[in-house]
Amino acid sequence: MRILIISDIHANLTALNTVLEAADNFDATWCLGDLIGYGPDPNECIERIRSLPGLTCIMGNHDAATLNHIDTTNFNPEARAAILWTQNQLTESNAQFLSSLPEKIEINEVTLAHGSPRHPVWEYLLDNRTASHNFDYFNTDYCLVGHTHLPVLYTLADGNFPARLTIPEANTDLTLKPRAIINPGSVGQPRDRDPRAAYAIFDTDQAVWEYRRVAYDVNDVQKRMLAAGLPERHIARLSAGW
């Protein structure tokens, strides 16, 4: 079974559609949260994701904040401004869809969480020691996370501490071995100095993880963000992926 893995779309419909066109051979979709926030297309992105085949989707911190499940004062001023703008745009149907999303789920012997298995919505896995402690909070062979917008692989073989951190090159295939925490990177707002949209294909039969990057029309998204009055910092960062 080939599963499309996407995360942190952040209301960037152009990036999302480009990923879906590039990943044309998949049987199901697992979305790791943050469908909205930052970008200009919250309703369009939610509706596009809702239409995907075999969808399993979890809640991210921007999704939760837009629903007032998280205090927006926990966000920096620009992120908070984007959340408030999104709250004014979101349709009732799409808000109900976000409200229905779980924070953490196990599917096909894989754990899905937005931030981490320990704190699914909010914790950032940015170093191998933090990641190492999180292996105690899931029992499956693999855990898939988003949130940092950074493609990364943490492996903990035979209980060795700390976990090994690997930053894969773009468009490479990795054969996975238990146990691992894996981040596909961000579709709509990459932060690894590569502005191309990031996603992955997970071949569950072969345990192969296909890291993928694809260029999209960043300028088109920036124009829509500018017209919507969204923060300039979020507009600028799309060009360089920071």
pLDDT in tens, 138-150: 999 999 999 999 9
Backbone phi and psi for residue 80, each to the nearest 5 degrees, phi listed first:
-65, -40
pLDDT at 160: 76
The pLDDT, as a whole number, for residue 213 is 98
CATH placement of domain 2-240: 3.60.21.10
Residues 72/101, Cβ–Cβ less than 8 Å: no
**pLDDT of amino acid 158:** 74
CA distance linking residue 151 with residue 65, whole number of Å? 24
pLDDT in tens, 20-75: 999 988 999 999 999 999 999 999 999 999 999 899 999 999 999 999 999 999 99
Instruction: Report how far residue 158's alpha carbon sits from residue 189's, in angstroms, rounded to the nearest whole number.
Output: 35
What's the pLDDT at 157? 79
* pLDDT at residue 233 in the model: 96
Diameter of the chain measured on Cα atoms: 53
- Mapping DSSP to helix (H, G, I), strand (E, B) and coil, where does residue 2 land? strand
pTM: 0.97
- The list of the chain residues with pLDDT below 70 reads 159
What is the C-alpha to C-alpha distance for residues 129 and 18, in angstroms, rounded to an integer?
35
Give me the residue spans of the domains in the chain.
2-240
pLDDT score, position 159: 66
